[in-house]
C-alpha cells in the first residue's frame, strides 16, 4: 500500500517513518510513505501557496492551483500501479475515524494520496474536482492535517498483514466492540500490588473467562456508550 502525503511541513513526517512498527512495515515492503511539498508547485513569485479567502474573514486558504498540480503529480506517480488511488483530505468536517473505518481503509487494498491542509483549509473546488473523501480524527480542530494524517496512516498500517505479530490484534480494544482487559507483567509483586491469581493459575479457560469479564467491566467504566451499540 502506497501513501503519498501532500503537505507544507514534510519535516513533521521524519520521526513517523523512522520509528518502530511503521519503520519496520516500510522496511518489509508492506507499505511506503512519500511526502510531497505543495510549495514546490506554486508559480507565485513569492513562493506563496495560501491567500486570503474570497468574501473576507480571517486566516488563509491553500490555493487550488499549486494543490491541484501536487495532486496531479502524485496521481501520475501512481498511475502505473495496478491498485486504485483514493484521495483523502484531513479535515475536522470529515467522517470521524474509528476502528471500523481504519479496517475498511486498510482492507480496501488501494493507494492513498492524503492532503494535509493548514491555516483555514483548502479551496473547496479541489474537493469537488478530485472526488476527495474528507476524514476527521475527532471533534476538535488541529492547526493542520499532518498529525491527523499520521494517526490515520498508523491505524491503517498496523492492520496490514505482516505489520504486527499475528494474534496481537485479536484481543485489543475495539476489535470486538469492547475495550481490552487489563494487562500485567513482571514483577509479580509491585509495591504490594499482586498480579491476579487466575492469571498465574495456568488454567486457560478460567483466564479467558476472567479477561472477558474484565473487558466488560472496563468498557462499562470508561465507555458505557460502546455497550449500547
Tell the smallest beta-carbon distance from residue 142 to ligand ADE (Å). 4
91 binds ligand ADE (CB under 6 A): yes
- Using the rule CB under 6 A, which residue among 63, 136, 155, 215 binds ligand ADE? 136
Site pattern 96..135 for ligand ADE (x: CB under 6 A): ----------------------------------------
115 DSSP β-pair partners? 6, 89
* Closer by beta carbon to ligand ADE, 4 or else 90: 90
Quickly count helices (H) and strands (E) in the chain: 8, 9
Residue 107 host element (H or E): helix 99-107
138 binds ligand ADE (CB under 6 A): yes
Nearest to 179 by CA among 223, 225, 228, 138: 223
Helix axes 146-157, 99-107, angle to 10 degrees: 70
How far are the Cα atoms of 43, 132, 186, 197, 206 from residue 202, in angstroms, in the given order? 68, 52, 16, 10, 9
* Closer by beta carbon to ligand ADE, 70 or else 142: 142
59 binds ligand ADE (CB under 6 A): no
Cβ count near 94 (within 10 Å): 17
Tell the smallest beta-carbon distance from residue 127 to ligand ADE (Å). 13
Chain residues binding ligand ADE by CB under 6 A are 90-92, 136-138, 140-142, 145, 148
Amino acid at each position: 500500500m502506497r501513501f503519498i502525503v501532500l503537505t507544507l511541513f514534510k519535516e513533521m513526517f521524519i520521526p513517523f517513518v523512522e520509528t518502530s512498527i511503521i519503520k519496520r512495515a516500510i522496511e518489509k515492503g508492506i507499505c511506503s510513505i512519500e511526502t510531497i511539498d505543495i510549495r514546490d508547485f506554486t508559480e507565485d513569485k513569492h513562493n506563496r501557496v495560501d491567500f486570503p479567502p474570497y468574501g473576507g474573514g480571517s486566516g488563509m486558504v491553500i490555493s487550488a492551483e499549486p494543490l491541484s498540480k501536487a495532486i496531479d503529480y502524485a496521481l501520475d506517480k501512481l498511475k502505473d500501479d495496478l491498485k486504485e488511488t483514493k484521495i483523502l483530505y484531513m479535515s475536522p468536517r470529515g467522517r470521524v475515524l474509528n476502528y471500523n473505518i481504519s479496517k475498511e481503509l486498510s482492507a480496501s487494498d488501494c493507494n492513498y494520496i492524503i492532503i494535509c491542509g493548514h491555516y483555514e483549509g483548502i479551496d473547496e473546488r479541489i474537493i469537488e474536482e478530485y472526488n476527495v473523501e474528507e476524514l476527521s480524527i475527532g471533534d476538535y480542530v488541529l492547526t493542520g492535517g499532518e498529525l491527523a494524517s499520521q494517526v490515520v496512516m498508523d491505524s491503517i498500517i498496523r492492520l496490514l498483514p505482516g505489520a504486527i505479530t499475528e494474534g496481537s490484534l485479536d484481543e485489543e480494544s475495539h476489535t470486538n466492540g469492547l475495550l481490552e482487559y487489563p494487562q500485567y507483567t513482571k514483577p509479580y509483586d509491585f509495591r504490594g500490588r499482586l498480579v491476579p491469581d487466575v492469571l498465574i493459575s495456568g488454567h486457560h479457560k478460567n483466564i479467558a473467562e476472567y479477561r472477558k469479564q474484565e473487558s466488560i467491566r472496563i468498557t462499562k467504566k470508561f465507555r458505557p456508550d460502546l455497550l449500547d451499540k
